[in-house]
Structure 1
């Protein structure tokens, strides 16, 4: 049975550290698939006209395509070139919720994310995706510094 690991990317160098850690762990495990995930933060709670909603949908699709091309595909390409089994996923929503949902949908054994210094003091007071994952995920969460 293939072990699946969800790896959250943030589009920064810290995400690359999480990918590198996941690759090393996958090598140790053997039969392992890395699910490389980038979440475009997006709130569904907005009151708009029908025209604005149509534009919003188009913008969402463009953001998914851009994130896939600029962030996810290069990471997946490096992993597959190095002999790893990897798949890329881009979704909109709350980062922690999406990573937890994907881990449940895919039957993943673990979520791997990086600790990012982005957001500073405000993030420390009001929480972050990483802390929400650690507190609420149904699978182990590894935080790479």
Structure 2
């Protein structure tokens, strides 16, 4: 039985649909929700010490901003009786979500499908497709 539903969340309508579906599933199965917001962050190898300090400060500011963005969402869900945890990380969304799933083997991943055109709708999206290919647990793509 699934104990944790991991939901990739970036604030888009597609991700909100994934959250809503995961909440319904979690309530039905008495599972916990784990909301994950990943800030994409590419590593730079050649930087001066001043550039590194500036980059580190910018990274801290982005994490703080993302946490402030997620806090009211998590608080509302808790008020509605949802067992929920959350985290904000920097890096590659697929790698981070898969690492979280590996640490929670009785889990399932939920992500929203993005796109408006017919061609885009046929595609799951880069993060969704990557998760399908590399996830250690089941992945649900919510339209």
Gaps of 5+ in 1: none
Secondary structure at 1:98's aligned position in 2? helix
1:4 touches 1:108 (CA, 8 Å); kept in 2?
Answer: yes
- Deviation of 1:75 (Å): 2.1
Looking at structure 1, the residues matched to 106 and 40 of structure 2 have their Cα atoms a distance apart, in angstroms, of 22
2:40 touches 2:90 (CA, 8 Å); kept in 1?
Answer: yes
Task: Give 2:52's aligned residue.
Answer: 53
Map of 1:8-23 to 2, 5 A cutoff?
A: 8-23=8-23
Return the TM-score normalized by structure 1.
Answer: 0.87
Matching of residue 99 in structure 1 with residue 121 in structure 2: no
Looking at structure 2, the residues matched to 73 and 103 of structure 1 have their Cα atoms a distance apart, in angstroms, of 22
1:20/1:85 CA distance change after superposition, 3 Å: same
Greater CA deviation, 59-68 or 41-50? 41-50
Secondary structure at 1:59's aligned position in 2? helix
2:5 touches 2:33 (CA, 8 Å); kept in 1?
Answer: yes
Matched positions, count: 140
- Deviation of 1:130 (Å): 0.8
Looking at structure 2, the residues matched to 129 and 45 of structure 1 have their Cα atoms a distance apart, in angstroms, of 22
2:2 touches 2:106 (CA, 8 Å); kept in 1?
Answer: no
- Deviation of 1:96 (Å): 0.7
